Structure 1
Amino acid sequence: MGEKMDRRKKYTRMVLKDSLIELLAEKPIASVTVKEICELADVNRSTFYTHYADQYDLLTKIENEIIDDMNAYLSSYSFTKEDEALLMTQKLVEYITDKKLMFETLLNENGDSTFEKRLMEVARRFVMKNTMEGTDLDEQFSSYLSTYIISGAIHVIKEWIASGMEESPREIAELINHFSNRGLSYLQE
């Protein structure tokens, strides 16, 4: 009986999450109601409140799952210094590709801006740990540099998602790395 309940709970949470994501594709979280989520998920409100406090709690739980999953995903790879930046970027872009609808929705104008900041922090931690650790750069300078690089990378990814993801994850990773490593000198090559 317990296994059946666990499957039912998982299914209920999944349809509630999917319903919120579908609604966020159309409008901002402040305009989404619990009633709308429940109607779309075909779940009654008391069931919703068994799992979540409100639509913001549901959104936070979705974001937390993605951030935890992304940390685990990126941590599962080990890179050598030579290929580290490109492969880490490619793995991040592949992860986003696998969860296209989720990222497309959470990074659009209706999504929660804190998610983008949290995503940037995950990427920044990996950049700082894997590429700037061991350099003789000033810590504050390294922080500014990683913020600059990650902000640009996130916006390139957002543009790539918005334009239909025509390039492969490898091509986008290479583009981001070229911009990060060569900046405007990339245009003169």
Structure 2
Amino acid sequence: MSQIYDRRILRTKKLLREAFTRLLQTKPLEKISVKELCDLAGINRSTFYLHYQDLRDLYTRLEEDLYTTFEEKLERFMKEEGKWYESLLSDSQPNKLSIFLETYHFIAENSDLATLALNTHDDRNIVMRIYKKGKESFLEEFIGKVSPQGLSKLSYYFEYIASGSVGILASWVQGGMKETPEEMHAITQEFILRTPLPRLE
């Protein structure tokens, strides 16, 4: 009996998630009403309030779930790949920046939530959270290995590369993700590898 109940909850949340992300593609969160969402999802308002306090609560939980899933995926990738960041700074490795391929695949697999990742621009936005975490992880690997001047250059280098990469990702999503993750990885890699690496003292 509990399994049937659990499946119903999962189905209800799935319907709400799909309807919510569809609405977010056409209007900001502040313009969406609970009634509008429930009508589109085909559920009662009372059912919505069994699971969420309001639309902001739904938004926050979906965003947190997406961030946590992506964070876990990246952590697994980093453990499997070892010192992944070295491929960014090396001139000898032919298959660079595979971390971007992982990112494109993740977004493609969660395309209905891609609007959540690109919907806002404040510090709580999932893209900014991943951006900041990535920068911290990247720079931590070089503390004590390069001079303070070199570390400063790497910080600017990360900002430059990451900002451009987020822009490419956003354009891909907003354009309907017509290219495959592999094609986008190749495009991103081509652009980034044209950028001269900083000279580290």
Bin of the TM-score, shorter chain as denominator length: 0.7 to 0.9
Which residue does 1:119 correspond to in 2?
127
What does 1:131-170 correspond to in 2, within 5 Å?
133-134=141-142, 136=146, 138=148, 139-170=151-182
Please give the per-residue CA displacement for 1:114-143, whole angstroms capped at 9, x wherever unaligned: 488422332443355358723526455444
2:27 aligns to what SS in structure 1?
Answer: coil
* Distance of 2:129 and 2:159 partners within structure 1: 9
Which residue does 1:37 correspond to in 2?
37
1:58 aligns to what SS in structure 2?
Answer: helix
Which residue does 1:88 correspond to in 2?
99
What does 1:49-64 correspond to in 2, within 5 Å?
49-64=49-64
Which residue does 2:186 correspond to in 1?
174
- Answer yes or no: is the 8 Å Cα contact 1:124–1:150 preserved in 2: no
What does 1:16-27 correspond to in 2, within 5 Å?
16-27=16-27
- Answer yes or no: is the 8 Å Cα contact 1:124–1:146 preserved in 2: no
Shift of 1:55: 0.9
1:35 aligns to what SS in structure 2?
Answer: helix
Do structure 1's residue 129 and structure 2's residue 137 form an aligned pair?
yes
Alpha carbon RMSD of aligned pairs, Å?
2.8
- Answer yes or no: is the 8 Å Cα contact 2:96–2:189 preserved in 1: yes
- The alpha-carbon distance between structure 1 residues 142 and 128, as it changes in their structure 2 partners (threshold 3 A), is farther
Which residue does 2:116 correspond to in 1?
106
* Distance of 2:116 and 2:162 partners within structure 1: 17
Which residue does 1:79 correspond to in 2?
81
- Answer yes or no: is the 8 Å Cα contact 1:38–1:48 preserved in 2: yes
* Distance of 1:57 and 1:85 partners within structure 2: 39
Shift of 1:147: 2.7
Q: Which runs of 5+ in 2 are unaligned?
A: 88-92
The code of the aligned residue for 1:36 comes to: E
- Higher mean alpha-carbon deviation, 168-177 vs 153-162, is at 168-177
- The alpha-carbon distance between structure 1 residues 117 and 148, as it changes in their structure 2 partners (threshold 3 A), is farther
The size of the alignment, in residue pairs, is 182
User: Normalized against structure 1, the TM-score is what?
Assistant: 0.81
Which residue does 1:12 correspond to in 2?
12
* Distance of 1:175 and 1:116 partners within structure 2: 28
